């Protein structure tokens, strides 16, 4: 069977946890400093639709009181707990005999719909307005449905935990985060390339780039292509993505370095994402 339900006041408690989740998710962000005013509670529509935007006087007052550059508001919050049962068979030993018995496994999925607006008081514009659906799941078993329910968290707690999770997910969506990725570097070619490799391995990328740059016009196209490729890598490490793209394209177009073609696509994608983020954040 399937049942749906949320406990009384669960959405209110869940919305508080959702805000706490986004605050916790952004606390380590290099881009944001987070302040959560404890007294600010907005009245929503009670539906999955956005209410009218906040008036700019309210936005400016909240930002001024908290010395904030922008206001992030949770303006839609709706939970839906979906319960379902299934029968499974278990075995236990009694007097050296295996006894089979049935159990009820109760599964609950808590769907959270959260709608967020980011207000920019200086430009009087809404930077972002988005609704997302996230979910968390639990399972427990017992001899009956009621017994399985006892082994699950209470409905209010389920909504609170799912709400917190939804908040952390939104934080991940709006905050840039570092990921570890691999890059190849040409280490062979001549003694200078070996020297530049050691410089790069000790994080002296500028010095390594000075070595590689000498070979970007070398008569040997293979060596020159490798030098241009490594120059792209040094530029990316330094955060100069446009320059990195130029060097990667030089390596491929001029010197037919095959690896540089794929690398240029990776760099262009990074550059596009960075430009899009800066546009969204008004930089």
Note whether 159 and 204 are same-domain residues.
no
pLDDT reported for residue 8: 40
Of the candidates 106, 140, 174, which is a domain's last residue? 174
> Could you tell me the pLDDT band of residue 172, with boundaries at 50, 70 and 90?
confident
- The pLDDT > 90 percentage for the chain reads 73
Note whether 210 and 155 are same-domain residues.
no
Note whether 167 and 207 are same-domain residues.
no
Predicted structure pTM score: 0.64
Domain coverage including residue 91 = 2-174
Q: Does position 30 have pLDDT exceeding 80, yes or no?
A: no
Q: Does position 32 have pLDDT exceeding 80, yes or no?
A: no
Q: Does position 176 have pLDDT exceeding 90, yes or no?
A: no
φ and ψ of 274, to 5 deg: -65, -45
Q: What is the dihedral of CA 8, 11, 12, 14, to 10 degrees?
A: 120
The larger pLDDT score, comparing residue 38 to residue 254, is at: 254
Q: How many domains does the chain have?
A: 2
Helix axes 221-237, 241-249, angle to 10 degrees: 170
196-207: pLDDT as tens digits: 999 999 999 999
208 falls within a domain: yes
Note whether 239 and 141 are same-domain residues.
no
181 falls within a domain: no
Of the candidates 174, 199, 219, which is a domain's last residue? 174
182 falls within a domain: no
Note whether 145 and 272 are same-domain residues.
no
pLDDT reported for residue 179: 61
User: DSSP string spanning 208-246?
Assistant: HHHHHHTTTT-SSHHHHHHHHHHHHHHHHHTT-HHHHHH
Give the whole-angstrom CA distance, residue 242 versus residue 232. Answer: 9
186 falls within a domain: no
Q: Average pLDDT for residues 106-127, to the nearest whole number?
A: 94
Q: Does position 31 have pLDDT exceeding 80, yes or no?
A: no
Q: Average pLDDT for residues 91-116, to the nearest whole number?
A: 93
Q: Does position 177 have pLDDT exceeding 80, yes or no?
A: no
234 falls within a domain: yes
Q: Does position 283 have pLDDT exceeding 70, yes or no?
A: no
Q: Does position 1 have pLDDT exceeding 50, yes or no?
A: no
Give the whole-angstrom CA distance, residue 209 versus residue 231. Answer: 6
CATH of the domain at 239: 1.25.40.10
| Contact (CB, 8 A) for 79 and 162 | yes
């Amino acid at each position: 069977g399937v049942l749906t339900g949320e406990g009384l006041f669960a959405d209110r408690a869940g919305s508080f946890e959702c805000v706490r989740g986004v605050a916790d998710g952004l606390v380590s962000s290099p881009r944001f400093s987070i302040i959560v005013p404890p007294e600010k509670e907005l009245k929503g529509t009670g539906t999955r639709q956005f209410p009218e935007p906040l008036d700019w006087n309210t936005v400016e007052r909240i930002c001024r009181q908290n010395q904030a550059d922008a206001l992030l508001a949770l303006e839609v919050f709706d939970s839906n707990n979906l319960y379902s049962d299934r029968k499974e068979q278990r075995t236990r030993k009694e007097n050296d005999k295996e006894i089979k018995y049935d159990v009820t496994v109760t599964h609950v999925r808590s769907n959270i719909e959260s709608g967020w607006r980011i207000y920019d008081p200086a430009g009087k514009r809404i930077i972002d307005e988005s609704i997302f659906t996230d979910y968390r799941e639990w399972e427990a078993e017992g001899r009956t449905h009621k017994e399985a329910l006892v082994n699950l968290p209470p409905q209010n707690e389920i909504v609170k935990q799912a709400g917190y999770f939804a908040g952390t997910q939104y934080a991940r969506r709006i905050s840039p985060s570092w990921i570890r990725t691999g890059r190849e570097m040409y280490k062979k070619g001549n003694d200078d390339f070996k020297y530049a490799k050691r410089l790069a391995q000790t994080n002296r990328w500028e010095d390594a780039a000075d070595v590689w740059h000498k070979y970007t016009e070398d008569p040997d196209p293979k060596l020159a292509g490798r030098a241009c490729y490594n120059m792209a890598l040094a530029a990316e490490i330094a955060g100069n993505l446009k320059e990195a793209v130029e060097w990667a394209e030089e390596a491929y177009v001029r010197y037919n370095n095959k690896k540089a073609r794929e690398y240029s696509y990776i760099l262009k994608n990074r550059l596009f994402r960075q430009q899009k983020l800066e546009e969204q954040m008004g930089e």
